[in-house]
Structure 1
Amino acid sequence: MESIVETVVVVAISVLGAALARRLGFIAPLVLLVAGLGLSYVPGVPAVHLEPELVLIGILPPLLYVAALQTNLVAFRAAIRPILLLAVGLVMLTAFVIGFVLHALLPDVPLAACVALGAVVAPPDAVSATAIARRIGLPRRIVVILEGESLLNDATALVTVRIAVSALLGSAVGFWEITGEVALKAGAGVLLGLIAAVGAAWLHKKITDPLLDDAVSLLTPFVVVIIAEELKSSSVVAVVVAGLYLGHRIPYLLSAESRLQMEAVWRLVNFLLEGVVFLLVGLQLRELIENIEVGWATTVRVTLVVFLVLVAVRFLWMYPATYLARLMPRIRAREDRPPITHPTVIAWAGMRGVVTLAAALTLPPNDTFRGNDYPRELFVFVAFAIIVLSLLIQGTSLPMVARRLGVTEDTSTEDALAEANVQHAASRAARERLEKHADGAPLSVVERLRALTDSRSNNAWERLGNQEQETPSAAYGRLRREMITAERHIFKIARNEGRISEEVLTRAQRELDLEESQLTRSDD
């Protein structure tokens, strides 16, 4: 009973913290970290110990899976070169650079342990970055690159951490050995992810119950990661590949009701998991700080050096990776040369998050290796501190940096024009299908469907008009919402007076809710 109460309290606090962050315009993970640290000093609050398996199998897979489901696969493939350069090349370079720098600062610590910390803090988590990017209107290609990097860099980092830890056992591991191991595990992960995605797609195709669709979708990332771990392949890559494939195929696999319900379910899961994990990190920080055996001067120096090296290496990588590749005629002919402000913004959008947390928790205890002791508590603290610093410094300043550099893109008119053209073609196809199957249907029904088709086409073109004046579709939405409110009120009164059953009210409420939801989506 006590553990249940603690779980409910943690979830409730994470929800309140996220709500407060949204209200104040702050980054939610940062608020929850601070809240957790503050709560850890409250008498009676129990100590928290996050297990690595919980994060790697219980938290990280669903977060990656839902991010992959929402990623545009076509845009992802178009940007695969810069994504791989960041997700593989930059992560490995960062791990080794930080490893050598840290070994110079702490010569008594084995180089392999220093490289392990470098791999822990190397992968940016673009959840916060892409959320900010969309809000301030960064160009779509930048958003896609950030999303793709965050989906694939986890595999590189986690494999590098494992290999570096194995090197502490005495295995001689070099750059090319790590590269080959990453490629092998990633290739196996791609194959497993595709097989799992095809299986899940077959199930979704056969299922007609939205609840069962939700259950299959929720189970998919956990099943994939468990099988991948058993087969010693990259579970991260497997989950991402499965999510990318299924996200691209969802419009063909699921019914409309299943899609709407699944979207709501995954939004809730994503919201709760992100909130809870950062709150738990904050709660664990106090004990971590108290167990650090080195002096605070060393701790602060190591933390600042690691953070500065992280930022510097990312900037030094971005410009050659962006422009040297365009010396090749084939790439230069296919891709425009971006202004220097674009790689600058991508370089600054290097916030760390859940992946760094998960990787840090996998670092083994200090006494695991005979003769190879290392300050684990210091390393885990540095990883957590890097998350805080990156969110506090880079996360809060990214909107200002993007605005100062002029890296914004207003695609509302372009999107409205593209939508209007496609909607016109879709309405024409719908009208042709209507005329083909209209025989025998009441004329009033056919006329109503014709009017609905024309209305949808006209609504799309209206978005290109004057935004300051209320359009007919906006007026329709405003007035229809008022009508729906009145209808709901009458149904509730009828239920309260016993003239209709609760089942009748529920059915009517659902129909009105779906219609109002559609009106809200049209406004967006």
Structure 2
Amino acid sequence: MSQAAMAQVLAVSVVAIAVAAVARRRGWSAPLLLVLAGLALSPLVPAYELDPEIVLLVFLPPLLYSAAIDSSYLGLKAVRRPVALLSVGLVLFSTLVIGLVVHLLLPELHPAAAFALGAIVAPPDAVAAVAVARRLGLPRKVVTILVGESLFNDATALTAYRVAVAAAVGHGVTWPGALGQFAYAAAGGAVIGLALAWLLTRILAALRDSLVENTVMLLIPFGTYLAAEAVHASGVVSVVVVGLVVGHRMPRSEFGTRLLSGALWRVVDLFLESVVFALIGLQMWPIVSALDWSDPWRPVGAALAVFAAAVAARIAWVVPATHLPRLLSRRVRRNEPEPPPWQNVAIVGWAGMRGVVSLAAAFALPDLPGRDMLLFLTFTVVIGTLLVQGMSFPWLIRRLRVSTEQETFADDLAEAAAQQAAASAALDRLDELVAGGVADVHQEVVEQLRLRAERRALTAWERLGGGTGPEGEETPGAVYRRLRREMLAAEREVFVRLRDERRIDDEVLRRVLHELDSEEATLARD
């Protein structure tokens, strides 16, 4: 890479981080502000065409992995039916609808190229979904469905894209061959992901060094993606599977590993997401300037029609996909006695923001007739969904009066009960240690440890209007630290067990583990 190219990358990164910092301080949506900044700067800076290899090999794996380790494996398992209907069914349905619209509007394009565009713009983006949904405080089940959809739908879309491109360039493609390629990519990616997850979790457990473990974890998404793609399986599925397994087992790792991992991936996410959304906006000028504008209504009309088709296809799929399984399956009605609130269905139907993966796939198109038009249509769908749907999302949520108060109360209640059980386990462990003959244990130290365990449970009950805990004490000596670590280990085991038994959610588990880890880190520094 030349010095000029390096300077350009550095400048984009600096501007992106600065814009993201302003958005975070003001409480604005960073992705939307970054896209707008990129659009405004696009005519003023040297043209930069997005390199699809950089997006698919450098940006996508770590962002997918970070979203996966922060997701709940058990939560995704509970919503696997709607996630599958969205990440597979909706992507294929959108590909067909959009491809048909493009074929009717632009008959001069090869039909396979039209359906390739459908596959390009069909999947909502994982980065956009996580960035927007969590900031708005949506109900956890809705967030889990949106995140799960965006984690897996790229695999469906990229496989359909490869099949359509192969047909467009004249390679023989049959329906059985296309279905076989899709099945192999998905199943192969899952198998490779599970095998690597089994190996990597054991390697990480054997390292017992927080810094080394997190350094290895930085390499995991890239190595996993390349390993799957090397055998033509889905690198996206492999990365997501590994991330879900590693994230599920993270509570059993060392406290330092979790604390460092949380900070590390927050930094990685902020940097990569900022650069990605800025790059989306910066693509405007090279894409628009490459197009023939002798008849401006033709590209503009086609762009509006494709954008409308992308939005309408999602709504047309989400509503029946939500209710038809309940009507057709007694098992679904038994497992889900109450239908989902219509407000949640409306939110999922409107949450279709596209992102940088669609642009990367478009730039990876071979030199087909009409390639510039396909790039322009992709760009307008990405920008249109990010701005129109992204900017209207907060208004929609306020209008629908979606609230998480009941969910928050249930979390607080579950946490208080779990804290009580964990405190009992810690006190039992303390009694065992004292009865076993710990040398030079003063009664004052034992009482301090006992009060500290009880205080954690009382603090959780206070959120529900309960009693108050005792006054805080000063940090005790070496015996206190050793015994307290044993108690923390006992509490942690209880929380993990209750999570595995589905008595508390992963969100609650992460919250309480952060408190335990922070305390243990303080003890280790003394």
Provide the TM-score with structure 1 as the length reference: 0.85
What is the number of residues matched between the two proteins?
A: 471
Question: Structure 1 residue 285: deviation in Å?
Answer: 2.0
Rounded to whole Å, the distance in 2 between the matches of 1:279 and 1:132 is: 16
Which blocks of at least 5 consecutive residues in structure 1 are unaligned? 367-372, 481-512, 519-524
Rounded to whole Å, the distance in 2 between the matches of 1:257 and 1:389 is: 42
Alpha-carbon contact 2:38-2:279 (below 8 Å) kept: yes
> Relative to structure 2, which stretch is displaced further, 22-31 or 454-463?
22-31
Per the alignment, residue 400 of structure 1 pairs with: 395
| C-alpha distance 184-474 of structure 1, shift in aligned 2 (>3 A) | farther
Rounded to whole Å, the distance in 1 between the matches of 2:135 and 2:147 is: 15
Which of 375, 382, 385 aligns to 1:387? It is 382
Question: Structure 1 residue 10: deviation in Å?
Answer: 1.8
Letter in 1 for 2:113: A
Taking the TM superposition and a 5 Å limit, the aligned residue runs for 1:25-64 are 25-42=27-44, 45-64=45-64
Per the alignment, residue 207 of structure 2 pairs with: 207
Letter in 2 for 1:281: I
Taking the TM superposition and a 5 Å limit, the aligned residue runs for 1:94-173 are 94-173=94-173
Structure 2 residue matching 1:41: 3-state secondary structure: helix
Per the alignment, residue 410 of structure 2 pairs with: 414
Provide the TM-score with structure 2 as the length reference: 0.84
1:331 and 2:332 aligned: yes
Taking the TM superposition and a 5 Å limit, the aligned residue runs for 1:17-416 are 17-42=19-44, 45-173=45-173, 177-252=177-252, 254-293=253-292, 295-327=295-327, 328-335=329-336, 336-366=338-368, 373=369, 375-410=370-405, 411-416=407-412
Which of 433, 437, 440 aligns to 2:438? It is 440
Structure 2 residue matching 1:364: 3-state secondary structure: coil
RMSD: 2.4
Give identity over the alignment, percent: 44
Alpha-carbon contact 1:129-1:395 (below 8 Å) kept: no
Alpha-carbon contact 1:94-1:122 (below 8 Å) kept: yes
Letter in 1 for 2:438: G
Letter in 2 for 1:323: H
Question: Structure 1 residue 445: deviation in Å?
Answer: 2.8
| C-alpha distance 124-36 of structure 1, shift in aligned 2 (>3 A) | same
1:428 and 2:430 aligned: no
Alpha-carbon contact 1:27-1:391 (below 8 Å) kept: no
Which blocks of at least 5 consecutive residues in structure 2 are unaligned? 476-516
Structure 1 residue matching 2:157: 3-state secondary structure: helix
Question: Structure 1 residue 181: deviation in Å?
Answer: 2.1
Alpha-carbon contact 1:126-1:350 (below 8 Å) kept: no
1:376-396 CA distance string (max 9 Å, x none):
122122212212111211111
1:130-151 CA distance string (max 9 Å, x none):
4443344322221111111001
Structure 1 residue matching 2:46: 3-state secondary structure: coil
Letter in 2 for 1:344: A
1:359-385 CA distance string (max 9 Å, x none):
22222223xxxxxx2x21221222122
Structure 2 residue matching 1:407: 3-state secondary structure: coil
| C-alpha distance 210-345 of structure 1, shift in aligned 2 (>3 A) | same
Structure 1 residue matching 2:283: 3-state secondary structure: helix
Alpha-carbon contact 1:30-1:388 (below 8 Å) kept: no
Question: Structure 1 residue 275: deviation in Å?
Answer: 0.9
Structure 2 residue matching 1:261: 3-state secondary structure: helix
Alpha-carbon contact 2:51-2:360 (below 8 Å) kept: no
Alpha-carbon contact 2:90-2:317 (below 8 Å) kept: yes
| C-alpha distance 364-141 of structure 1, shift in aligned 2 (>3 A) | same
> Relative to structure 2, which stretch is displaced further, 398-407 or 156-165?
398-407
Alpha-carbon contact 1:350-1:390 (below 8 Å) kept: yes
Alpha-carbon contact 1:119-1:160 (below 8 Å) kept: yes
| C-alpha distance 118-175 of structure 1, shift in aligned 2 (>3 A) | farther
Letter in 2 for 1:401: L
Structure 2 residue matching 1:352: 3-state secondary structure: coil
Rounded to whole Å, the distance in 2 between the matches of 1:131 and 1:60 is: 15
Question: Structure 1 residue 237: deviation in Å?
Answer: 0.5
> Relative to structure 2, which stretch is displaced further, 341-350 or 325-334?
341-350
Per the alignment, residue 511 of structure 2 pairs with: none
> Relative to structure 2, which stretch is displaced further, 356-365 or 235-244?
356-365
> Relative to structure 2, which stretch is displaced further, 148-157 or 13-22?
13-22
Alpha-carbon contact 1:27-1:128 (below 8 Å) kept: no
Rounded to whole Å, the distance in 2 between the matches of 1:7 and 1:68 is: 27
Rounded to whole Å, the distance in 2 between the matches of 1:316 and 1:474 is: 57
Structure 1 residue matching 2:107: 3-state secondary structure: coil
Rounded to whole Å, the distance in 2 between the matches of 1:284 and 1:127 is: 18
Letter in 1 for 2:355: G
> Relative to structure 2, which stretch is displaced further, 109-118 or 21-30?
21-30
Alpha-carbon contact 2:123-2:150 (below 8 Å) kept: yes
Rounded to whole Å, the distance in 2 between the matches of 1:355 and 1:304 is: 21
Question: Structure 1 residue 279: deviation in Å?
Answer: 1.6
Per the alignment, residue 510 of structure 1 pairs with: none
Rounded to whole Å, the distance in 2 between the matches of 1:183 and 1:340 is: 33
Rounded to whole Å, the distance in 2 between the matches of 1:247 and 1:183 is: 26
Per the alignment, residue 456 of structure 1 pairs with: 456
> Relative to structure 2, which stretch is displaced further, 225-234 or 333-342?
333-342
